[in-house]
Chain A
Amino acid sequence: MYKAVIGLEVHCELETKSKNFSSAPNQFSKIPNQHVAPTDLGLPGILPVVNKEACKKALLTAIALHCENPNEIIFDRKNYFYPDLPKGYQITQVTKPMGKNGYLDILVQGKWKRVGIHQLHLEEDTASLEHDKNYTLIDYNRSGVPLIEIVTEPCLETSEEAITFLEDLKDIFLYLGVSEAKSNYGQMRCDVNISVKKEESTELGTKVEMKNINAFHRVKQAIDYEIKRQINQLENGEKILQETRRIAEDGKTYAMREKVDAIDYKYFIEPNIPSTKITNEYLNELKKMIPKLKMDRYIQYIEKYKMKEEDAKVLVKNKKIADYFEQVQKNCHDTELVIHFMTTFILSTLNKLEISLEELWITEEMLSKVIQLVEKGQISLDHGKKILYQSIEKKIDPIELIKKENLHQINDEKELIVLIKKIMEENPEQVRQYIEEDNFHVINFFIGQTMKQSNRQANPNKSLELIQQELERRKQNEQSI
């Protein structure tokens, strides 16, 4: 049996106002060369000015990934010539990366796995090139955008593990608010290193590298294909070449270039950026800013709230939804009821209306109050949901709506019996069927009528009870005559 050894290098653009070393806006633009300062073009005489926010966000991510942090922030130059690199060097971190020796625990098929983080560092993105047959166009909008690179230990074994890791990592970026991590904008990109070896062997196989894969499903395709290809190759007694391959549209990987000796990047410390000490106070401050993360909440929801795994999964996926849930949970007694409202009302409404939580009219407060009414039995669960739907439609606070439109449930038996009697007087045929033919279906008919004529405000359970009683009473009377 063969075993795959997979390591990932994940690049993620950070969300900041300006670029990593210049004051040009850090924004995606379809119009080329819109967000460019002299520094981003590498013009003679330019100097880098470090973006504090980018450093903070890189450190936050490193802390969230349980990394060791350096005692100071310094940057290095990585020297190489390429047309997308205007300065002829990239400012990055080699000597003292923002994070080292961290980990992220992922849950794959019900089992926890610890993925080692070799290092996390802050660097700048390159310009983007568009090659044509006879020319190449350069767009410097991306040049200098802050980028973090996260390098895992080669400890992943399947595409499922890799994808779970990537998804969890992406959710950490979102939870921390450090990046939008949109792969369709190339904000999150991934290099995959992969080799296969005999399961019992301690020696690693020859490594193949696949660079710059944006979408996660492509990562999965690439890994699955590579594992098969490499095993086949070995089975046929062929050697694996150390090379860079690319994943094509057809889901297969193709050789790009054989890896010659590693390029010497001639790293040295960037002299234009003075070192900045990282104090323990600052690190503690940052630690306090890290919210409870996805998988920690997942464990908490299952253990403390006895939530179903699939419910927990959907609630923790988005921090804002998880926060919303936790707030409502705090306000109410019946956690099960809260979970029910979250999964069957909130999430489905967001899906149906295709809106985000911020765009939803119903606040935590509003939902809590409605659930409290259900808890007290003042309105039914269905009635509660109906009020919420109307509240969204009319953009009126649900409690206001109940008051204003007299939407309280009719629980008063006297009031209900008057209505029920009136309906029965209007429908003697149905009453007759019950008395003479023992036709119980007419009960549904009367419930329907009661709900309709009460504007659906009648308490359905009580109405049912009263209808049954009244019909029974009339039957007795008839028989006794």
Chain B
Amino acid sequence: MYRGKSIEELTEQLEKKETTKEELFQQANFLAHHFQKDYNCFVTILDQVKIKDSSGPLSGIPYALKDNFSTSKILTTASSNILKDYVPVYDATVYRKLKQAGATLVGKTVLDELAMGGNGTTGHTGVVRNPWDKNRLIGGSSAGSAASVALGIVPFAIGSDTGDSVRKPAAFGGIVGYKPTYGLISRYGLFAFASSLDHVAILSRNTKDAGMVAEVLKGKDPQDMVTINSDKIHLLEGIENEIAGKKLFYLKEICGEEMKDTTTDQELKKTLDQFHQMLDKIRKQGVMIEEVSIDKSLLEAIYPAYMCISCAEATSNNANLTGISFGSRKTGKTIEEVMINTRTEGFSELIKRRFILGSYILQKENQEKLFLNACRVRRLIVEKITDLFQDYDAMISPCSGGVAPTFDSTSEKLSDRYLILENHLAIGNFGGFPSITIPYGMIDGLPIGLNITGRVKEDALVLNLANQVEKLTGMKNIYAKVGDLDV
């Protein structure tokens, strides 16, 4: 049996010669096609791959790659019409390392157009559906990557996380989403959204698998100047350590006890109830967990600051999409007209809105008030959290105020839940903190996730905490068992 198996289990099967690499790929390929119509995980499904003789740590393990990683000779669209026919000429460092490690690429996954969006609904090939309920979204932007893991098509997938683009869909998909310390994994070949916030991140079905993949991907890359020397960071070392004596905190303004009792939002109430029950379970392991209160206005500023910084950087990062040296070029009477037509027809309205925002934010007369203030807010938040990390080992929080929303639901953008709880994971991107989401409960048959965020470069501790908490959830290695299949 292949479906739903972890990397560890598949590796064991291979070692015992119960299966072959070719067989694993065939099964993954079958599942990918099988679920494509209903869930739309992939932009490209690879039907023929050369499986190399490799003894790498991920030898023969099928995986999916978000379609915003450059893969030489394989279509890479970033789920945007402007790149619908773009075939890269070079490999992203992540893809190169996975090849070296022996992993088998199954397909390139759908994302929100250019990784901008949190719902998985704006890709040029259509919406991605939640494996636990087809009427619900999986979340984005790493929507296809999350869904393919949640469906059991692949044991792990690669995504990118700029605000919560891996950790949020992981929560809605009942799987693990791990965003390492900024600079641990090279971004070379990842189509940039907001460079200072972009992280390569991993989706898997258990913490250990996520750590194992990160261990393969980490390392200083001469192609990415912000990568750090991680020779001394061993992600799996100490993953089984006892966590008694560790100190965690949660923020009152995000998920306080009081909120649980006063909220009229039933879903939020259920979420927080389960969250606090989980905290009690963790406390029983000898972990100290405390409620900490910080300036609410600082937390309210996360989302606007995130939008300012990410839109500004995105406007500039995507200015290469003009159809001149690559991409789907439209015609025009002059070069300027060619560029204008290419961009006008190539981007969806949502993307154009973000570019206009970004451009506005960077304008000379607005830059101080919008862009630079956003950068200041970012610094203040990071300082505050870093300060708390002096006393605590990590921060713990629910990833969302509820389960995956339905496609037709709308969120009140200025409500506390939306403004703070739904967007607080961006703290991890602001500070480059290691941050992991694991499933911890179900509400009406739908998974919910909790997040653990720790000190920069202390990924091993974050993975250790997550791994031990995972044992308390009873949700390790779960996936959506839809489809009556015998693979």
Q: Do A and B bind each other?
A: yes
**In the complex, B20 has a CB within 8 A of chain A:** no
Min C-beta distance of A128 to chain B, whole Å:
13
Task: For the complex, give the distance between the alpha carbons of A138 and B325 in Å.
Answer: 9
Given contacts A43-B326, A45-B191, contact A271 B225 (CB under 8 A): no
- In the complex, what distance in Å separates the CA atom of A77 from the CA atom of B195? 12
A41 near B326 with CB under 8 A, answer yes
The 5 closest A-B pairs by CB, nearest first: A88-B319, A266-B362, A271-B196, A42-B320, A271-B195
User: In the complex, which residues 231-275 of chain A have their Cβ closer than 8 Å to any Cβ of chain B?
Assistant: 264, 266, 268, 271-274
Q: Mark B344-374, 1 if CB is under 8 A from A, else 0.
A: 0000000000000001001110010001000
The proximity string for B residues 176-195 relative to A, scoring 1 for CB distances below 8 Å and 0 otherwise, is 00000000000111111001
B residues touching A (Cβ–Cβ < 8 Å)?
68-70, 76, 78, 83, 86, 88-90, 92, 187-192, 195-196, 222-226, 312-313, 315-316, 318-322, 324-326, 335-336, 339, 359, 362-364, 367, 371
Give the distance in Å from the alpha carbon of A47 to the alpha carbon of B78 in the complex: 17
Q: Which among A47, A48, A87, A271 has the highest number of chain B CB atoms within 10 Å?
A: A47
CB-based contact B316/A45 at 8 Å: no
A42-B325, A44-B70, A83-B324 given; A272·B225 CB < 8 A: yes
Q: Are B225 and A268 in contact (CB under 8 A)?
A: no
A45 and B319: CB pair below 8 A? Answer: no
Please, what's the 1-or-0 string for A129-143, where 1 marks a CB less than 8 Å from any CB in chain B? 000000010101000
- A44-B78, A88-B319, A264-B363 known; A274 vs B83 contact (CB < 8 Å): no
CA distance A207 to B367 in the complex (A): 28
Pairwise interchain contact B320-A88, C-beta atoms closer than 8 A:
yes
Choose one: B88, B319, B322; the contact of A43 (CB below 8 Å).
B88
A86 to B362, CA, bound (A): 20
- Report Cα–Cα, A266/B367, bound state, in Å: 8
- Pairwise interchain contact A44-B191, C-beta atoms closer than 8 A: yes
A361 at the interface (CB under 8 A from B): no
CB contacts (< 8 Å) of B76 on chain A: these are 44
* Docked complex Cα distance between A45 and B191 (Å): 4
Q: How far is the CB of A13 from chain B (nearest CB, A)?
A: 21
B90 with A38: CB separation less than 8 A: yes
Contact present for A49 and B324 (CB under 8 Å) = no
Contact B70 A45 (CB under 8 A): yes
Q: Do residues B364 and A264 form an inter-chain contact, with CB atoms below 8 A?
A: yes
Chain B residues near A77: list those with CB within 8 A.
Answer: 316
Q: Is the interface of A mostly helix, strand, loop or mixed?
A: loop
Interface positions of A (Cβ within 8 A of B): 38, 41-50, 77, 79, 81, 83, 86-89, 136, 138, 140, 264, 266, 268, 271-274
Distance in angstroms between the alpha carbons of A44 and B313 in the assembled complex: 14
Interface of B is mostly: loop
Evaluate contact between B312 and A268: CB separation under 8 angstroms: yes
Q: Are A44 and B83 in contact (CB under 8 A)?
A: yes
Q: Please, how many angstroms separate the alpha-carbon atoms of A136 and B335 in the complex?
A: 8
Contact partner of B359 among A47, A83, A266, CB < 8 A? Answer: A266
Known: A45-B69, A45-B189. Is A79-B326 also a contact (CB below 8 A)?
Answer: no
- Which residues of chain B come closer than 8 Å to A41, judged between CB atoms? 325-326
CB pair A49 B222 closer than 8 Å: yes
Q: Are A83 and B335 in contact (CB under 8 A)?
A: yes
- A83 vs B329: C-alpha distance when bound (angstroms): 13
Kindly state the separation between the CA atoms of A272 and B188 in the bound complex, as whole angstroms. 10
Q: In whole angstroms, how far apart are the Cα atoms of A136 and B92 in the complex? A: 31
Q: How far is the CA of A232 from the CA of B68 in the complex (A)?
A: 60
A86 with B187, Cβ < 8 A, contacts A266-B364, A271-B195, A271-B313 known: no
29 contacting pairs across A/B (C-beta < 8 A): A41-B326, A42-B325, A43-B90, A44-B70, A44-B76, A44-B78, A45-B69, A45-B88, A45-B189, A47-B188, A47-B225, A79-B362, A81-B322, A81-B336, A83-B322, A86-B325, A87-B320, A88-B318, A89-B319, A140-B325, A264-B364, A266-B316, A266-B359, A266-B367, A268-B313, A268-B362, A268-B367, A272-B195, A274-B225
Contact between chains at A45 and B190 (CB < 8 Å)? yes
Q: Which of A38, A81, A266 has the most CB of B within 10 A?
A: A266
CA distance A87 to B326 in the complex (A): 11
A79 to B321, CA, bound (A): 13
Contact of B89 among A38, A42, A50, A81 (CB under 8 A): A38
A74 CB, min distance to chain B CBs, angstroms: 12
Q: Indicate if the CB atoms of A49 and B316 lie closer than 8 Å.
A: no
Among B69, B316, B335, contact of A79 (Cβ-Cβ < 8 Å): B316
| A136 proximity list for chain B (CB < 8 A) | 335
Contact indicator A47/B224 (Cβ below 8 Å): yes
Please give 7 more A-B residue pairs, beta carbons under 8 A apart, in addition to A42-B320, A79-B315, A272-B224. Answer: A77-B316, A81-B336, A87-B320, A89-B316, A136-B335, A271-B195, A272-B226
- When the two chains form their complex, are residues A86 and B339 in contact, meaning their CB atoms are under 8 A apart? no
Which residues on the B side are within 8 Å of A272 (C-beta)?
195, 224-226
Q: Which of A49, A86, A138, A274 contacts B320 (CB 8 A)?
A: A86
Residues in A with CB closer than 8 Å to B326 are: 41, 43-44
Closest to A276 in B: B225
CB-CB under 8 A for A273 and B325, given A44-B88, A45-B190, A45-B191: no
Contact between chains at A266 and B363 (CB < 8 Å): yes
A274 close to B335 (CB less than 8 A):
no
Most buried by A among B187, B196, B225: B225
Closest to B318 in A: A88
Contact partners of B86 in chain A: CB under 8 A: 44
In the complex the two chains form, what is the Cα distance from A136 to B322 in whole Å?
A: 15
Query: Which one of A45, A47, A266 has the greatest number of beta carbons of chain B within 10 Å?
Result: A45
